[in-house]
Amino acid sequence: MRMMMEEELEKRAALVTDAIEQLLPVVHPSGLYEASRHLVDSGGKRLRPSMLLLAAEAVGGEAAALAPAAVSIELIHNFTLIHDDIMDNADVRRGRPAVHKLWGESGAILAGDTLYSKAFQVLGLTPADPKRLLGAMNMLSRTCTAICEGQWLDMEFEARDSVSEAEYMEMIEKKTGVLYGASAGMGAILAGASTEVVLAMDLFGRLTGMGFQLQDDVIDLTTPEKVSGKRQGGDLIEGKKTLIIIHALANNVSVPVFGKKEATSEQIQQSISILQKSGSIEYARSRAEEMVAQGKKALQVLPDSDAKTTMLELADFMIRRRY
Amino acid sequence: MRMMMEEELEKRAALVTDAIEQLLPVVHPSGLYEASRHLVDSGGKRLRPSMLLLAAEAVGGEAAALAPAAVSIELIHNFTLIHDDIMDNADVRRGRPAVHKLWGESGAILAGDTLYSKAFQVLGLTPADPKRLLGAMNMLSRTCTAICEGQWLDMEFEARDSVSEAEYMEMIEKKTGVLYGASAGMGAILAGASTEVVLAMDLFGRLTGMGFQLQDDVIDLTTPEKVSGKRQGGDLIEGKKTLIIIHALANNVSVPVFGKKEATSEQIQQSISILQKSGSIEYARSRAEEMVAQGKKALQVLPDSDAKTTMLELADFMIRRRY
């Protein structure tokens, strides 16, 4: 069953990758387009555009026709990563140097800005009823604003002593949830679904996207570096105020290596054990599971179909993945 | 006559400023929206959104209804300034500290990104036929891509020994011309004009915008600091490869202070005299005049109207202004 889902996703990811080649050619001035393509060409799972295509299929639409819309979502995702990497001063992304490491900050700002407008250009090429296309554009622009708000909150939280669970949830909803919501919602709008179905799809994407983010926080603590490619407990020693930390602090659990960048692997493992015993990791995992369960429930508005089945499996995958 | 044009522009600028208050409120997270509003609230002449409104009126549309579209143009303009100021490491803009000086680079990247998506959101609120609104959105997204290309070329030229006149013209067309073109073109599309008229309006805006940029280069050399607020010859000692410099180099005129940041005021004045005698300043001015004349000719497709008269006066103003 898992195997089938992976094949289904790979099929759609390949469609998206082919469409990117068509829709974002390296033209004059080539340096700008090479910088813009660098991260886009570094792979990634293309989960968001695949979700758009699956949502369209699940309401009776044709995936192939909506390839431009799927690409627009992937370009927006990559634009946010390029700008985030400048802000976080991150060196590496998807195993390759970050865009600003190769083209400088100015080049990376512009590469991101280019993907931003290209996303709207490409979305405009989607063959769909004008009103529906406008609806999709409005959803995408609202979503981009929310993503900026989410990133702003994330940066603001770094400078604060404490963050509440509600604040954290708002942040991950905006930073991660809304783009998954727009993916499923835009697929549904463009394929002609009713408002009720579009809203249900948006909710499905949003909740599973939040589950995805919570699972990311869990993976940081539970997956060894040799599996994830990232240092185990990296977020912890960076002092990231994840739901796991928020739970621990709320329960007066002291986490010695929190925010201690120079902690040894042994000290990190000890703090991870503390967070395991305190139930903080389990708490985040269970919240992720709840969100995914709620998201799946939203899909009950849909008739059964292969695409719906794949979406339900994808939802499970988002919190079962180990890296 | 000049006086009347200024009053007409001020009326439209006031409409845009009021609409910004409505369409870009400072909401949660307030820091992000304060950063996004900082430059927008610093004034500026609002020439681009006024051009959009005038173009709409000149084809029989209602300015008030198109206020959201006019705001979208102003937000895009401000977004590009905020990001450009980061790239150029500029400290001051419109007499106030640049956004990145107050909110840091990360804050300024995000403020710009927010204005970017808000522009598309706000444009989506314009009451217009869906097909026409889509046409305007497509024009805006294409324009944003071209602006990125223009800024990339501008940065690329800095690192090069020489730039041809054709390359320079392409750069200013993309960096400055296209947004004026989109202003006039979007006004015409949204007010229901024919494709022929939309293209003529786009051309009008594009050519007068290029004239505006060439005049900017002239102003750098001909306007004293006490009038312009900028150091006379500032672009010259920065080594900016303007059309004036391109003309001088092509004619084997040597300009001693070109790229010499430590030049004295006396040395700068001497180089300005050289550029005057060589006809290089006059060359750029005459090219600006040609472009504006061509742009005005494009408006011959329009019937006479007060709005058309103001547009023609605005075109002249763009190259007659002294600062």
Q: Given a cut of 70, is residue A279 above it in pLDDT? A: yes
pLDDT of residue A4: 87
Task: Output the CA angle B222-B225-B228, nearest 5 degrees.
Answer: 75
Which residues from chain A sit within 8 angstroms of residue B138, using beta carbons? 121, 124
More confident residue, A229 or B118: B118
Using CB atoms, which residue from B105, B113, B149 is nearest to A32? B149
**Cβ contacts (< 8 Å) between A117 and chain B: which residues?**
116, 141-145, 148
Residue of B nearest to A133 (CA): B134
Q: Considering CB atoms only, which of B110, B142, B151 is closest to A121?
A: B142
Chain B residues inside the 8 Å CB shell of A131? 130
Compute the average pLDDT of residues B166-181.
Answer: 98
Tracing tokens 């192939």 back to the chain, one arrives at A64
Shortest CA gap A277–chain B (Å): 35
Measured distance CA(B275)–CA(B284) in Å, rounded: 11
Residue range B2-320, CATH number:
1.10.600.10
Answer whether B109 sits within 8 Å of A87, measured CB to CB. Answer: yes
- B191 or A229, which is more confident? B191
| SS3 sequence of A203-263 | HHHHHHHHHHHHHHHHHHHHCCHHHHCCCCCHHHHHCCCCHHHHHHHHCCCCCCCCCCCCC
Q: Please say if the pLDDT value at position B75 is more than 60.
A: yes
Give me the helices (H) in chain A, please: 2-23, 30-40, 47-58, 67-87, 99-123, 130-158, 165-172, 178-190, 195-222, 225-228, 234-238, 243-250, 265-277, 280-298, 306-320
Residue B1 has pLDDT above 70, yes or no: no
Q: Do residues A185 and A55 lie in contact, with contact meaning Cβ atoms separated by under 8 Å? A: yes
Report how far Cα B142 is from the mean position of its chain's Cα atoms: 16
Using DSSP's 3-state secondary structure scheme, residue A93 falls into: strand
CA distance to partner chain A, nearest, from residue B190 (Å): 14
A contacts of B29 (beta carbons < 8 Å): 149, 152-153, 156
Contacts of B133 in chain A (CB under 8 A): 134
For residue B93, what are the β-bridge partners? Answer: B96
DSSP percent split of chain B into helix, strand, coil, nearest 5: 75, 0, 25
Q: CB–CB of A141 and B117 under 8 A?
A: yes
Q: Which one-letter amino acid corresponds to residue A300?
A: Q
Mean pLDDT of chain B, nearest integer: 96
Mutation target for A interface from B80, B110, B139: give the one with most A CBs within 10 A. Answer: B110
d(CA A83, CA A76): 11
Min Cα separation A41/chain B (Å)? 19
Nearest to A143 by CA among A248, A220, A30, A52: A52
Distance from CA of B133 to the nearest CA of A (A): 8
Mutation site for A-interface testing, chosen from B24, B73, B123, B145 by largest number of A Cβ within 10 Å: B145
User: pLDDT band at B3, cuts 50/70/90?
Assistant: low
User: Of A203, A175, A153, nearest to A311 (Cα)?
Assistant: A203
**Closest to A110 (Cβ–Cβ): which among B107, B138, B151?**
B151
**Residue written as tokens 């180990």?**
A322
Q: Please name the amino acid found at residue A138.
A: N
> What tokens does A119 get?
């996303």
Q: How far is A123 from chain B (nearest CA, A)?
A: 9
Structure tokens at B279: 């006809």
- Beta strand extents in B109-257 (DSSP E only): none
Q: Is the pLDDT assigned to residue A165 strictly greater than 70? A: yes
Which among B29, B113, B124 has the least Cβ separation from residue A83?
B113
Residue A2 has pLDDT above 70, yes or no: no
d(CA A320, CA A322): 6
Nearest CB neighbour to A152, from listed B29, B151, B152: B29
pLDDT confidence band for B2 (50 / 70 / 90):
low
State the CB neighbour count (10 A cutoff) for residue B31: 17
C-beta pairs of A245-254 under 8 Å, 24+ apart in sequence: A245/A280, A246/A162, A246/A163, A246/A164, A246/A165, A246/A168, A247/A165, A247/A278, A247/A279, A247/A280, A247/A283, A247/A284, A248/A274, A248/A275, A248/A278, A248/A280, A249/A162, A250/A165, A251/A278, A251/A280, A253/A278, A253/A280
* Average of per-residue pLDDT across A297-321: 96
Q: What is the mean pLDDT of the segment spanning A20-45?
A: 97
Question: To 10 degrees, what angle do helices B30-40 and A130-158 make?
Answer: 110
Q: Do B137 and A134 touch (CB under 8 A)?
A: yes
CA-nearest residue to A153 within chain B is: B29
The answer, yes or no, to whether the previous bond of B68 is cis (omega within 30 of 0) is: no
Which of B114, B134, B148 is facing A117, going by the closest CB pair? B148
Number of Cβ within 10 Å of residue A15's Cβ equals: 20
pLDDT band at A28 (very low <50, low <70, confident <90, very high): very high
> Please, what is the average pLDDT of chain A?
96
Q: Domain ranges in chain B?
A: 2-320
d(CA B2, CA B305): 17
Residue B93, SS3 per DSSP: strand
Closest residue in A to B147 (Cα–Cα) = A114
Mean pLDDT of all residues in A117-138 = 98
Name the residue of chain A whose CA is nearest to B153's CA: A29
Q: Which two tokens stand for residue A106?
A: 């100015």
CB pairs under 8 A between A and B: 127
Task: Return the half-sphere exposure (C-beta side, CA atoms, 13 A cut-off) of residue A139.
Answer: 30
Half-sphere exposure in the Cβ direction for A209 (13 Å, CA): 29
- What is the three-state SS of A273-303? HHHHHCCHHHHHHHHHHHHHHHHHHHHHHCC
Q: Is residue A93 a contact partner of residue A81, using CB atoms and an 8 Å limit?
A: yes
Give residue for tokens 């910004």. Answer: B20
Comparing A212-216, A224-228, B97-101, the range with the smallest average pLDDT is: A224-228
Residue A322 pLDDT > 90: no
Rounded Cα–Cα distance for residues A101 and B178 (Å): 30
CB contact (8 A) between residue A144 and residue B116: yes
Q: How far is A117 from chain B (nearest CA, A)?
A: 5
Instruction: Give the pLDDT band (50/70/90) at residue A323.
Output: confident
Residue-level pLDDT at B323: 72
Return the pLDDT at B322. 75
Confidence at residue A147, expressed as pLDDT on a 0 to 100 scale: 98
Closest Cα of chain A to B88: distance in Å? 9
> Do A265 and A252 meet the contact criterion of CB atoms below 8 Å apart?
no
- CA closest to B29 among chain A residues: A149
For tokens 């002294």, the residue is B322
Cβ–Cβ gap A137/B120 under 8 Å? yes
- Where is A97: in which H helix or E strand? strand A96-97
Tell me whether residues B148 and A105 touch, CB distance under 8 A: no
How high is the pLDDT of residue A314? 96
pTM, two decimals, is: 0.97
Q: Cβ of A29 and B149 within 8 Å?
A: yes
Residue-wise pLDDT tens digits, B195-237:
999 999 999 999 999 999 999 999 999 999 988 888 899 999 9
C-alpha span between A144 and B110 (Å, rounded): 11
| Least-confidence region, from B27-41, B141-155, B214-228 | B214-228
- Distance between CA atoms of A243 and B93, rounded to whole angstroms? 41
CA distance A226 to chain B (A): 32
Enter the ipTM.
Answer: 0.96
Cα-atom radius of gyration of chain A, to the nearest Å?
20
Q: In chain A, what residues touch B124 (CB-CB under 8 Å)?
A: 134, 137-138, 141
pLDDT value of position B115: 98
Q: Name the residue among A32, A134, A148 with its Cβ closest to that of B110.
A: A148
Q: In whole angstroms, what separates CA A208 from the centre of its chain?
A: 10
Say how far residue B144 (Cα) sits from the centre of its chain.
Answer: 13
In Å, how far is B45's CA from the nearest CA of chain A?
Answer: 25
In tens, the pLDDT along B266-282 reads: 999 999 999 999 999 99
Provide residues of A within 8 Å CB-CB of chain B: 28-29, 31-32, 83, 86-87, 105-107, 109-110, 112-114, 116-118, 120-121, 124, 130-131, 133-134, 137-138, 140-145, 148-149, 151-153, 155-156
Nearest neighbour of A134 by CB, restricted to B105, B130, B149: B130
Minimum CA–CA partner of B124 in chain A: A138
What are the angstrom distances between the C-alpha of A298 and each of A2, A47, A199?
Answer: 21, 19, 9
**Model pLDDT, residue A3:** 66
Distance CA A156, CA A177 (A): 19
